[in-house]
Amino acid sequence: NAGVTQTPKFQVLKTGQSMTLQCAQDMNHEYMSWYRQDPGMGLRLIHYSVGAGITDQGEVPNGYNVSRSTTEDFPLRLLSAAPSQTSVYFCASRTGGGELFFGEGSRLTVL
Partner 1 sequence: EDQVTQSPEALRLQEGESSSLNCSYTVSGLRGLFWYRQDPGKGPEFLFTLYSAGEEKEKERLKATLTKKESFLHITAPKPEDSATYLCAVRGGGTSYGKLTFGQGTILTVHP
User: Counting contacts by CB under 8 A, is residue 7 touching partner 1?
Assistant: no
| Residues 41 to 60 in contact with partner 1, rule: CB under 8 A | 41-45, 48, 50, 56, 58
- The stretch among 11-19, 70-78, 79-87, 100-108 that binds partner 1 (CB under 8 A) is 100-108
67 vs 76: CA distance, rounded Å: 8
- The stretch among 20-28, 63-71, 72-80, 94-102 that binds partner 1 (CB under 8 A) is 94-102
| Residues 24 to 43 in contact with partner 1, rule: CB under 8 A | 31, 40-43
> CB of residue 15 vs partner 1: minimum separation in angstroms?
26
